[in-house]
Amino acid sequence: MPSRNLTQPTFFRKEPVRASEEYRRTALAGFLRTRRARIDPDPCWPVVDAGTPRRVPGLRREELAWAAGVSTEYYTKLEQGRAAHPSASVVSSLSEVLQLSELESRYIQALATPGPEQGAEEDTATVTHAEHILRGLGNQLRDPVMLHVLTEDLTIRGVAPATAGILFPDGAPDPGHGFDLSLLTYIFADPQSLQVYVDWSDKAREVVGLTHLALARSIPTPQLLEALRTAWDNSSAFRYLWSRYEPYEKAYGSWRLQVEGRGIVVCNYTTFQVPSSRNVSLVVYTEAETG
């Protein structure tokens, strides 16, 4: 695997505020490197030397710096993690040259912000109230295949017995009612997830992408940092996906689940939030209608 020689990011083992600062700096550097490799140079640019063989794909640093209107020295510092917090105008220029999607542009803007996004850190009462509202909504739904309350650090709060029966066909680690579960740990450290999610590779990409976006927006919880260490130590797939810096955000879609006694069930999922809180969501799986 390409991830064989990767070393564990040092921020995994730091306290949350310092971990957040280091993640933003190193993720900005990694994001720029991976996106630069995807862009072909424009032969019309005066800085492009078409006669010199290219050892690697994509733009050279001096080419990207010229196109974005910054010095090569400054851009090199950004890409090596030796500079942070570029201005909004620099971020906008880089986004244009790198041909970023709307989500990628929001991701790099969040990484460039000196601290968490405005309003990202919510007080406990706000989150608790939002969770109460979402659980009330969930209780009114008829016959969902699976539903759970998911926090921004990807913790499933209070896994219900019906959900546990699907996620753990070989038996749940905690047979009690309403245990919490890290989605990162489940996907990358529990082999049962390979049985449940038929399209496991796509689910794994989603979970890593959600994690990158959460880390760009908010200070990580100790539980998230622990889950990151566990995923890194247990999964080469996680290490590979982590190095790609691909944020993910989607409020609805579908997954194929292997359900005990039923076989493969195609489920549509929808994510609900309340306006007062971005840090907690209700994720509902319903069986897709078949024509």
CA of 101: how far to CAs of 104, 106, 246, in Å?
5, 9, 11
Report all structural domains of the chain as residue ranges with CATH numbers, in order of start: 10-112 (1.10.260.40), 124-287 (3.30.450.180)
- Separation between Cα atoms, residue 192 and residue 219, nearest integer Å: 30
- Separation between Cα atoms, residue 114 and residue 120, nearest integer Å: 13
CA of 102: how far to CAs of 98, 159, 202, in Å?
12, 33, 21
Which DSSP symbol is given to 232? H
CA of 67: how far to CAs of 44, 47, 107, in Å?
11, 9, 21
- Separation between Cα atoms, residue 216 and residue 209, nearest integer Å: 11
36-70 burial string, b = 16+ CB within 10 Å, else e? beebebeeeeeebeeeeeeeeebbbbbbbbbbbeb
- Separation between Cα atoms, residue 200 and residue 17, nearest integer Å: 32
Select from 20, 81, 27 the least CA-distant residue to 242.
Answer: 27
Q: What is the pTM of this model?
A: 0.91
Tokens linked to 198: 């038929």
- Separation between Cα atoms, residue 187 and residue 185, nearest integer Å: 6
Residue with tokens 């730091």: 14
Select from 24, 17, 31, 35 the least CA-distant residue to 83.
Answer: 24
Per-residue pLDDT of the chain (291 residues; tens, 9 = 90+): 344 457 899 999 999 999 999 999 999 999 999 999 999 888 878 887 766 777 778 899 999 999 999 999 999 999 999 998 999 999 999 999 999 999 999 999 999 988 765 445 678 899 999 999 999 999 999 889 999 999 999 999 999 888 999 999 998 776 566 789 999 999 999 999 999 999 999 999 999 999 999 999 999 999 999 999 999 999 999 999 999 999 999 999 999 999 999 999 999 999 999 999 989 999 999 999 875
- Separation between Cα atoms, residue 93 and residue 95, nearest integer Å: 5
Answer yes or no: are the C-beta atoms of 250 and 103 closer than 8 Å. Answer: no
